[in-house]
């Protein structure tokens, strides 16, 4: 997509998501329980996307490839090996912040 206000409906209908490794794209797909193939751009400087993709792959949540290996990855993928992404726990972060700033 070039630009779209929301991908929520597309994600809801998707059987598989192929995305760049932006944190928002990865987390939104994983939170919806969608299998995710992350395509990294290794030419980016200070590549936090590559770091995120590799960690999610090591943890078993995504398949990871680059543009030149995408077709091979799609042909050989086994989505049954992917682990569900655990739900977020924002209340724990809120409690931590409360302690740090002295509200508790």
Asked if 35 and 14 count as a contact pair (C-beta separation under 8 A), the reply is no
CATH topology of domain 7-99: Rossmann fold (3.40.50)
Asked if 79 and 16 count as a contact pair (C-beta separation under 8 A), the reply is yes
| pLDDT score, position 100 | 86
Domain ranges of the chain: 7-99
| pLDDT score, position 47 | 72
Averages of pLDDT over each 10 residues, the chain, 104 residues:
85 95 92 95 75 94 95 97 90 84 74
| pLDDT score, position 104 | 62
pTM of structure: 0.80
Pairing of strands 63-66, 17-19: unpaired
| pLDDT score, position 93 | 81
Helices 23-31 and 48-58: angle between axes, nearest 10 degrees: 30
């Amino acid at each position: 997509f070039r630009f779209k206000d929301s991908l929520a409906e597309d994600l809801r209908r998707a059987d598989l998501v192929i995305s760049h490794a932006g944190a928002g794209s990865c987390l939104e797909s994983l939170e919806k329980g969608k299998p995710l193939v992350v395509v990294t751009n290794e030419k980016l400087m200070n590549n936090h996307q590559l770091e995120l993709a590799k960690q999610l792959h090591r943890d078993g949540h995504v398949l990871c490839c680059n543009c030149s290996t995408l077709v091979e990855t799609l042909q050989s993928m086994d989505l049954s090996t992917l682990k569900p992404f655990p739900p977020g726990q924002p209340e724990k972060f809120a409690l931590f912040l409360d302690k740090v700033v002295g509200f508790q």
